[in-house]
Structure 1
Amino acid sequence: MKPKYKHNNNITYSCKYHIVCCPKYRRKVLLEAVDVRLKEILALVAIELNSELIEVEVMPDHVQVLVECDPQFGIAKLVRY
């Protein structure tokens, strides 16, 4: 299987980032409707910032996100939004 590369005017890339976010003191607050809304928000942000949300896993005390974004845009800016 050939890797899938993306490109823009300057570069060709395939940068995937694994992000883990935890609530303060790892309290179990990501339950029921909160996890559904969080996934919706993450999908909207990914579309808005031209990145691809590959996978999202919401646990009661943390969130794991696998995302692909343009390295010139920067993962720090994506996480900030």
Structure 2
Amino acid sequence: MTKYRKLSHVVFKCDYHIVWVPKFRFRILKSAIKELVAHDIMMLYEWKGCIVEQLNVQEDHVHLLVSVPPKISISQLMGTLKGKIAIKLFKSYPKLKKKPYWGNRFWARGYFVNTVGLDEEMIK
């Protein structure tokens, strides 16, 4: 991840460590749901021109180390990611919507993001 990336008019190294959780930190990210979330994260980030360096989906949270072009806002990227994955999960697993706490939201409202600098190896 020490290499710089290029677009038509910019050379950049914008690496981020991002962590987010399901609503109420339920331990729901298991088996098929875990695979669907991991696959969709890879697909959506590739679609946006990002490079996923590390992805770790735990039962109650997701860790991501990603390189993002400077033209993309992290808040817009996370909004798109969380929204599209939640919609797909509720369509694929309608029983999730029937749980008393879910409603129409799968993910908790916020997320953690940190720029990656000298502590890159520690994060990996």
TM-score (norm 1): 0.89
Q: Find the residue that maps to 2:24 and give its secondary structure.
A: helix
1:31-71 per-residue CA deviation (whole Å, 9 max, x = no partner) reads: 11111111110011011101101111011110011111111
Q: For residue 30 of structure 2, what is the aligned residue in structure 1?
A: 31
What letter matches 2:19 in structure 1? V
1:13 aligns with 2:21: no
Identity %: 27
- Taking the aligned partners of 2:15 and 2:60, their CA distance within structure 1 comes to 23
Shift of 1:10: 2.9
Shift of 1:77: 1.9
1:55 aligns with 2:54: yes
| Bigger-Rg structure (1/2) | 2
Shift of 1:28: 0.3
Higher share in strand:
1
- Taking the aligned partners of 2:38 and 2:57, their CA distance within structure 1 comes to 8
5+ unaligned residues in a row in structure 2: which ranges?
A: 81-124
- Taking the aligned partners of 1:19 and 1:6, their CA distance within structure 2 comes to 20
Q: For residue 77 of structure 2, what is the aligned residue in structure 1?
A: 78
Q: For residue 44 of structure 1, what is the aligned residue in structure 2?
A: 43
Aligned residues: 79
What letter matches 1:38 in structure 2? V
Shift of 1:11: 2.0
How large is the Cα RMSD of the aligned pairs?
1.1
